[in-house]
Amino acid sequence: MKRMQIGLIGCGTVGEGVARILMEQKELIKNRLGMELILKKVADTDTTKKRSVTFDKGVFTTDASEILNDPDIDVVVEMVGGTGFARKAILQALDSGKHVVTANKKLLALEGNTLFAKAARNSVTIAYEASVGGCMPVIKTLRENLVANHISAMTGILNGTCNYILSEITRLGLSFDEALSQAQQKGFAEADPTLDIEGFDAAHKLAIISAIAYGMEIDFEGVYVEGISRIEPLDILYADQFGYRIKLLAISKNHEDAIEARVHPAMIPVDSLLSQVGGSVNALSIFGDCTGEMMLYGHGAGMMPTASAVVADLADIARDIKREDGGRLPALGYPASNIRRIPVLPISEIRTHYYFRISAADQPGVLSKVSGVLARYNISIMSVHQKERHASDAVPLVFMTHKAKEADVRQALAEIRALPEIGSDPVLIRIEDPGTNGRDESQNKTGQPSASCL
């Protein structure tokens, strides 16, 4: 029976899970593949951590070069993360003719084009299923299962930390800081949660899957990114009254000559499938011309779900080695010669519905001033709500709009903020309906324009 020898660099949370699966499920994997996967070496600098696996003598090392320089190791599993040492290790592995498995979405989003090209030149594979969606087979679905489909759009919840925070604000009425603290206590958020709550983690993933879906180069710099730190319980309350939930969405739409790629908080109808995705779970809705809408759902992070995806990549590489036909599947699903440069639309060019919350002085004529500004920028109001003032003299004015151009919205809000009656920066949340797949809608959810105000 053939054997594939594996070197694991990084034995933190996910790395430990990979080692557990390879050791505990050894017989199951061997029976399914007809090939034995051998964990030959594990490298990590932390020798004090208590792990749930016990390695045989000589397997664990603190020196990753023992893996990278070992000619008998076929595959390097990189579980270090980041763009420093991980990049160097992957490049050295590729230059040594070793296949690589990684979950490093940040590195792939920033340098995937270069790394994939090097892998192709060296006739080895970079497998990265675990980089997007944890145990959800997002990469495999886009590259293989939907190969006959023209993908028109993708909308997803791709960060469990943000989804947990927004779910808890919705469920319990917590403040953002309270929900974040709770997420950190439960292990759903890092001590420094910036990458998650500011939207960058989801943007890394969106850049990768947009490239696969549309046959384009990875373009992380083109992705518009906005986080959830400005979302308040008041916005959650208004969203609920209007029949929406607020989620951090990763949105990608194919306009043929350009694409939209954006990550930001958005209101989505309560009856949509994505609005029901709570806690730290991820989901991705994909629109194919043959399949229609389909949705993947599952744990986007965590030791065993992510490790399961890593081992699935190892299994694919093992099957290629067994058949001696490695490189069966191009890294981004298209031959390199068919990968195009497709421009990403700037956020200023998108058109969608909007929610504005404006803190205004409780004075006659303020509403007419604000409405006048919106009208000058061709922003049509669908509804406006005014609540009674609370502790301060300011009252919240809430507007829901028909579709408008982002550039016009930004200019209008800047002019509104300059009015002497406005007390703070307006809150803007875009409104999306994943089920419409980008179709234009000129009416609200009930089919008629509404006005509930004053």
CA gap 226, 229 in Å, rounded: 9
List Cα–Cα distances, 122 to 6, 162, 220, in angstroms.
Answer: 18, 39, 25
Provide the b/e sequence for 185-220 (b: ≥16 CB within 10 Å). Answer: eeebbeeebebbbbbbbbbbbbbbbbbbbbebbbbb
Residue with tokens 């700037």: 346
Q: Residue 81, Cβ neighbours under 10 Å: how many?
A: 18
Q: Which residues contact 330 (CB under 8 A, 6 or more apart)?
A: 120, 336
CA gap 403, 9 in Å, rounded: 49
Antiparallel, parallel or unpaired: β 281-288 and 151-157: antiparallel
CA gap 300, 281 in Å, rounded: 6
Q: Residue 446, Cβ neighbours under 10 Å: how many?
A: 8
Q: Specify whether the CB–CB gap between 74 and 101 falls below 8 A.
A: no
Both structure tokens of 102: 């990684």
The secondary structure of residue 393, as a DSSP letter, is: S
φ, ψ dihedrals at 67, nearest 5°: -85, -50
Both structure tokens of 269: 């109808």
205 is catalytic: yes
Q: Which of 41, 105, 205, 253 is catalytic?
A: 205
Residue with tokens 């180069």: 217
CA gap 204, 139 in Å, rounded: 14
Q: Which residues are catalytic?
A: 205
